[in-house]
Amino acid sequence: MKNKILVILSLLCFYISPSQSRTCGTEEHMEEKMKDPVFVQEWKSNQAKFNKVFETSRNKRQSSMNTIIVPVAVHFTQANESDRACLEALAQNQIDILNADFTATNEDAGLWDAASVFYPNTEHGSADVVFCIATENHPVGIDNELIEGNPAVTIGYNFGNGNNVDGNWSGYLNFVIRNIGALGFSPLGGSIAQGSAVTMDDQAFGSGSGCPGSGVVPGAPYNLGRTTTHELGHFFNLYHIWGDGGCGVDDGISDTPLASGSNGGCPGPGDIPGCVSGEYELSMNYMDYTNDACMYMFSQGQMDVAEAYLTAVQNDFKPNTTSNCAGSTEPNFNLTALNSPVFSCPETGEDAVFEIDFSTINDYNVTTFISAEGAPENSTISITPTFINSNGTITMTIGNLVNTTQGDYTITLTASSFVSTKTIDVVLKNNCTSIECNEIYSGDNVGLEIPDGIGNNEYGDAVTSAITFPDLGVISSLTANVDVSHTYIQDLVVVLYHPDDTTYAILWGRDCGSEDGFDVTFSDDASAIQCANPTVGTYAPYEPLSIFEGMTSEGEWTLLIQDGYNEDVGVLNDWSIEICSEVALGTDKNNFNSKNVLVYPNPNNGAFNIEFNSFNDSDVNISVFDILGREILKNNFSYNTIHFNQSIDLKNVKPGTYLMTISTNNAKVVKKIIVE
């Protein structure tokens, strides 16, 4: 358990107060990342592509380069879903600033005219680039509010499990906004292919009044969005103007004067002598440390680097994301699957029915034809309607599934008109299975006291509670409920560990503030936590529970709680886990499966019968578990007849819900038993 505690403490080391002076964590970030051999390999590959492009274009402008449209995604990891409208507007505000700064169309760009006399060898630069918040072809399963046609802005999504790389967002330029204790950081030459991110503090993103309801409020003197411009410069392979070394270190840009170090505040043009006699430091450059109001330009040499980077990585950008980006007035449409996957079974022959939402954008009203492919061989596809030109639901029925081959099928539905063509994939699980869910509960009044923290961000001892699950198959989804009484709930970290004692997800990561107590069901499909007094409801966890998908359910699951601040204490009242697994679907009345195993009476007084038919001649093993996961009964029966009928008596058990597993040599069934 000590190892678990150390892991959590290392994960939460960023809970510190923001700095009051400009800071950039890129240098320290790169030192840490260069210890990762996977990162190093990808970084070297990207740098080789960049260097090849840059060498080709050295000493000349890339005037023939087509404008590169960069799909952007913005992730407010600690914000509130109720602030979505404000946060989406703030994200667009920051993108507008970037577009102006990188194309030299910012309102204060004209200040260069007077300043340029001090910098005769420097040209005010611009890049041929458009940053655009993606509105189409969004990743699925990320955020319920991430709707096709709306901007790619996530709220409460734990990007990369707290890291700055997330494969779900490969192909985008990602911005992650959270409280980090510095103004921002970025990889030096970020990987679009890997889903790298520029990470910004929630006090240094965008301009204006921000979104106070989520704590995302630009703070002076870094409240004009220029810190994001600075960090994006690093992402595009730009160093600080002093080369992170001083007069003896060049930043690699031919038209920026050598600088001795960073400049803060708001110096005037020509105020700071450079390293070379007669030169002056370029303090108004975005890659210095001056206040937002006093930086307003890139040099053309810097923009040549940025354009070379964009040219090198442009094939890594995810396609079909920005034709209807934020602010577009072009008419178009979007497709969204309302149910996928759909389960089917050749032995039953029942049709599989999918529903797809067709939604129009900007008064789109063009006749659009619908088709599909990818269904099992010998099956049929029926689509209603076959053409559409307004908002509505498309129904796709996969029929004639009798005697088709079992397996998972990806079916592609295409909607096509002379204006636009789009596709969407849905999944048919034609393998005679279904999803079955079972919950195990810790029991009422666990009453475990949570030791107080020992100081500001100094954690007290961990308290743990365990639930034992039987083998319910491979996990397809999981939810967890935790009920805690505690004053000032922001003190707490709550972590769920898989029985392997290695895999974990942080459920509660010092969320909310001075509120007292929470009773929360954590589900990946839910919205961000809405803090209240107490906080009650179904919300997304700090880290996604999908990390457990594909793993076995069997064994002892551990809940760990730690308090990271002194003065407030509380108790763990109770908790539970619900695990859903894909299990065999019954078809034949003689098959051994959940559908055809009868348990009666149920509810009962502890005595009941189990009955089923099967041609399986193996022994039958029966185990019953209480809500704590403890095995309270285990029996083995010799099965030498087609018809199995056996009486079970749990003998003086308390009223409640129990789980019973019935297994043969090649199948297992789980049944809930309710004792009254």
Report which listed range, 117-131, 243-257, 312-326, is most confident. Answer: 117-131
**Residue 578 falls in the annotated catalytic set:** no
Residue 387's pLDDT is 95
Rounded to whole angstroms, the Cα distance separating 25 from 188 reads 11
Grade residue 30 by pLDDT with cuts at 50, 70 and 90: low
Average pLDDT over residues 374-387: 95
Active-site choice (231, 281, 436, 582): 231
More confident residue, 286 or 473: 286
Question: Do 282 and 259 meet the contact criterion of CB atoms below 8 Å apart?
Answer: yes
Rounded to whole angstroms, the Cα distance separating 241 from 281 reads 8
H/E segment holding residue 302:
helix 300-313
Residue 15's pLDDT is 29
H/E segment holding residue 8:
helix 2-11
Name the residue among 244, 234, 162 with its Cα closest to residue 198: 234
For the stretch 79-132, pLDDT in tens is 998 899 999 999 999 999 999 999 999 989 999 999 999 999 999 999 988 899
Residue 599's pLDDT is 82
Grade residue 495 by pLDDT with cuts at 50, 70 and 90: very high
H/E segment holding residue 101:
helix 84-102
Mean pLDDT lowest among 121-130, 513-522, 528-537: 528-537
Q: What share of the chain is helix, strand, coil (3-state, %, to 5)?
A: 15, 35, 50
**Going from the N-terminus, what domains does the chain have, and what CATH number goes with each?**
16-241+299-316 (3.40.390), 349-430 (2.60.40.2310), 435-582 (2.60.120.260), 587-675 (2.60.40.3080)
Grade residue 16 by pLDDT with cuts at 50, 70 and 90: very low
What is Dmax (Cα atoms) for the chain? Answer: 101
Give this prediction's pTM: 0.50
pLDDT, mean over the chain: 84
Does the pLDDT value for residue 55 go beyond 70? Answer: no
Grade residue 616 by pLDDT with cuts at 50, 70 and 90: low
More confident residue, 290 or 673: 290
Average pLDDT over residues 358-380: 90
Grade residue 590 by pLDDT with cuts at 50, 70 and 90: very low
Q: Which strands form 392-399's sheet, in the order they lie side by side?
A: 332-337, 352-361, 392-399, 380-384
Residue 370's pLDDT is 96
Per DSSP, 224 falls in state B
Rounded to whole angstroms, the Cα distance separating 363 from 359 reads 10
Rounded to whole angstroms, the Cα distance separating 438 from 671 reads 9
Report which listed range, 16-25, 368-377, 420-429, is most confident. Answer: 368-377
Grade residue 234 by pLDDT with cuts at 50, 70 and 90: very high
